[in-house]
A and B are shown apart, each in its own frame.
Chain A
Amino acid sequence: MGRLVCIDPVTRIEGQARISLHLDDAGVLVDARLHVLEVRGFEAFCVGRPFTDMGAITSRICGICPVSHLLAAARAGDQLLAVTIPAAARQLRELLNLAQILQSHALSFFHLSCPDLLLGWDSDPARRNLFGLMAAEPDLARAGIRLRQFGQRIIELLAGRAIHGLWAVPGGVLTPLGLEAQAWILDRLPEARAAARLALERYKTLLDGPLQQEQSRFGRFPSLFLALVGPQGRWAHLDGDLRLADAAGGWIGEPIDPLAYGELIAEAVEPWSYLKFPYIRSLGYPEGIYRVGPLARLNVCRGIGTPWAEAELVELRQRSGPVLLASFAYHHARLVEIVVCLEAIERLVEDPGLRSAQVRAKASLNRWEAVGVSEAPRGTLFHHYRVDPDGLITHVNLIIATGQNNLAINRTLLQVAQATIPSPLAANAEIPEAILNRVEAGLRCFDPCLSCSTHAAGQMPLLVQLIDARGELLAERSR
């Protein structure tokens, strides 16, 4: 008789979910599923609201990545106004997004992933947490705290507050960067650079040691990759062309018009999860699997354009191959992106054009449909709006990074579970906690934000269920 293993709740991720592992009659693992258990339905209650309110409304989807929604909403608003925003406004929005990516990646790496990476998959679960990490590696923990503070403080300096600031608006931004704020950023940059260097050095020692196999094998499978790229194919996060790359890193077709995203991406649903399953329409479901986020951005870009990050990208590719196919490499990609963010922040803040007082273009409504695209920390974010002649929203579709990674998350869970769970699994055999933790870690590679992807509120515990071939629950384990 088959079995079902459940990991419930999943810990150290954003949101609420369960993982189920499905065994056939012979005890062989045949499927792994991430069940997202919450839904809030932001799209529905945006209808009827002025498009100028969309930043304020959609940024409330999440407390971790509100900036991403604010910027996507502002960019969609620019298109509805049909304006070209002032150069300083574009730079200031870039600065805000870089700070957002920086602080989110710091949270993911230092607080959520390091307990596994530094303390070990098999370490005592009672110590495998932030407390244990801080006891074992206090210097690294302090550095992580300060690095995340740095990103949050930049957001606060620009937007007035670190969470749910409403500073980016259709047509630009509300205020320029002050001299005092500029000085503060430049003053703190060396410390932030030192923190990033410490994290990279520490992480590479792990890759040369206990994590050597994970970097090349953990969640490794071919897929497509989607991301924005800038001029000459450089790494981009706000402005740029939307590009799809294949598993060999080659670009597929021409740059994608964001307004035509519906021709590229379709969304499937499954009865066992509230999280949709976007896929590349031309390849069908589920063959049209693709990944977004740090891993995808580094695979799609042809280079970075800042010296330290460029060198780190070269080294990453030397270690893991020219195309990063293992989901585990998301962690390293995040560290490389932290470096990009720091270098790009420095470049922007030193640019005298950033202090221009002209930061907003004003116009009335000129278009009735728009798609705002930006790179959120976890990947490409789409905000699609239609409005009536009064500017009131008639249709909203939000396609979120974690949703786009949904197929890849499930593939990673299955691959990790197949690699770690004995097969066939004897009836009533216990699955050690360390193995279940590895399965969980497959999910954490993606730093999923289920609050955003289901537009739902909540935190994320984990349940693992063992289900037999007839769908009956045989065992479950929760945290």
Chain B
Amino acid sequence: MALDLVIGIGNPLRGDDGVGPHLAATVAASVATAVATTVSSPGSAGHGGVQVLVVHQLTPELAEPLSEARRALFLDAWLASTASRPCLQPLRPAPHWEGSSHRLTPAVLLGLADLLYGATPTAQLLLVPAFVMEPMAEGFSPPLRRGLPRARRLLAQWLASGGDDA
């Protein structure tokens, strides 16, 4: 069954880096499905045709569930200036390799899905400005928290659009 795939990227023990998993958890709760921590059960769609994955970083194994999705949304933090706001960016499959073997970019992962499985979803990246990514830190910095309502709004819009954003 074609479905929507939401991938939260980050480490909750590194402060603002955990915002991707945090937002993914809210999606999982809203669609009443369990949050998977890996891609090892890619066939298990949640209610409402939304599958939610939480990962520390993007790995090649994600190419398979990505290729089976109709739409995909990556949720990630990025170090930014104080003036930045959460934003949605369209993604295209990368035509060639970039990055390292252990930490792929969403575009490379889409490229791998296309290369290996001949299919890619319509994909977007929800970037949330992050300011503190210290090791062994839990919780979010004040400027990130100020951006959370907008991030949640963009996420809800994406979920509600049901493919109209394509």
Contact = CB atoms under 8 A, between A and B. Distances in A.
Interface string B92-120: 00001100111100001001100111000
**Which of B42, B102, B111 neighbours the largest number of chain A CB atoms within 10 Å of its CB?**
B102
**Which of B96, B97, B112 neighbours the largest number of chain A CB atoms within 10 Å of its CB?**
B97
A161 B111 CA distance: 27
A425 interface: no
B59 to A, nearest CB: 8
Interface stretch (B60-68, B138-146, B151-159): B60-68
B2 interface: no
A234 interface: no
A89 interface: no
Contact of B61 (A12, A60, A112, A148): A148
Contacts of A461: 100
Given A14-B102, A145-B60, A156 B41 contact: yes
B40 interface: yes
**Chief secondary structure at chain B's binding surface:** loop
Nearest to A461: B100
B67 to A, nearest CB: 10
A1 B37 CA distance: 55
Of the four ranges (under 10, 10 to 19, 20 to 34, 35 or more), the interface on chain A belongs to 20 to 34
Given A131-B96, A132-B97, A134-B112, A152 B40 contact: yes
Interface string A228-257: 000000000000000000000000000000
Interface in A128-142: 129-132, 134-135, 138, 141-142
**Chief secondary structure at chain A's binding surface:** helix
B33 interface: no
B75 to A, nearest CB: 18
B115 A149 contact: no
B39 to A, nearest CB: 7
B116 A141 contact: yes
Interface string B37-53: 11111100000000000
Contacts of A150: 40
Contacts of B13: 60
A322 interface: no
A205 B112 CA distance: 26
B56 interface: yes
A126 B40 contact: no
A131 B108 contact: yes
A131 B101 contact: no
Interface of B: 13, 36-42, 56-57, 60-61, 63-64, 96-97, 100-103, 108, 111-112, 115-117, 135
Which 10 A-B pairs have CB atoms at the shortest separation, nearest pair first? A153-B40, A131-B97, A161-B37, A162-B38, A152-B40, A129-B97, A149-B40, A134-B115, A12-B101, A152-B38
